[in-house]
A and B are shown apart, each in its own frame.
Chain A
Amino acid sequence: AQSVTQPDIHITVSEGASLELRCNYSYGATPYLFWYVQSPGQGLQLLLKYFSGDTLVQGIKGFEAEFKRSQSSFNLRKPSVHWSDAAEYFCAVDNTNAGKSTFGDGTTLTVKP
């Protein structure tokens, strides 16, 4: 069965600093990979996705993620964090081609002024 690991439960960064959120997956082939953001009491918003092709994926709000097959990782990055980026971030994988995703446990991002 596929699984997703987000090793960092909580990350705190200063506003303007760079950010990297880690995501590792367990699956034999290359699944579809997603990063979502969730603000308190809200649903999930898709930041970016990787299906195939260029392993560096650009998303919304200045986020990007890099797929590394050798490391089974899909880490999310942002060069300069804004206070409004404080939220919960979920990595997800889908190997079913049917939209049925497995989610990681999430990483809570706190941004210090």
Chain B
Amino acid sequence: GAVVSQHPSWVICKSGTSVKIECRSLDFQATTMFWYRQFPKQSLMLMATSNEGSKATYEQGVEKDKFLINHASLTLSTLTVTSAHPEDSSFYICSAIPGTVTYEQYFGPGTRLTVT
């Protein structure tokens, strides 16, 4: 149980375009999902907290208008990188928290974004 999927697993896009990444909890409902960014050989950097039915909470320094997060249902959160630039190339990982257990998060497999 507690499986989180991400789609796509990798994506290449051209500079200036937008790309959407989906995060789904497959066998549980997630009231809260987190979006992380990870640079090569580095730790996870929390970008934002996504709560179902409300606006996402962004960490300091993360551009809200560039990284649009939508938590449309209890099993789906999306991250849209708008007007992507090469510096947005990174590994994006989501995690989800089951509604009844607030301190355990389950991670997706990640999405590798390359902006050319």
A residues with a Cβ closer than 8 A to B are 32, 36, 41-46, 49, 51, 90, 94, 97-101, 103-106, 108
A104 x B109 contact (CB < 8 A): no
Of the A-B pairs whose beta carbons lie under 8 Å apart in the complex, a sample of 24, sorted by A's number, is: A32-B103, A41-B91, A41-B112, A43-B109, A43-B110, A44-B44, A44-B95, A44-B107, A46-B106, A46-B107, A49-B104, A94-B103, A97-B102, A97-B103, A98-B32, A98-B97, A98-B102, A99-B32, A99-B95, A99-B97, A99-B105, A100-B34, A100-B49, A104-B43
A100 x B43 contact (CB < 8 A): no
Query: Does B54 sit within 8 A of A, measured CB to CB?
Result: no
What residues of chain B lie closer than 8 Å to A42, measured between beta carbons? 109-110
- Say whether chain B's binding surface is mostly helix, strand, loop, or mixed: strand
* Given A103-B43, A105-B43, 20 further pairs, Cβ under 8 A: A36-B107, A42-B109, A43-B6, A43-B93, A43-B109, A45-B107, A46-B104, A46-B107, A51-B103, A90-B43, A97-B102, A99-B32, A99-B102, A99-B105, A100-B34, A100-B46, A100-B49, A101-B105, A104-B43, A106-B42
Would you give the shortest CB distance from B36 to chain A, in whole angstroms?
9
A99 x B112 contact (CB < 8 A): no
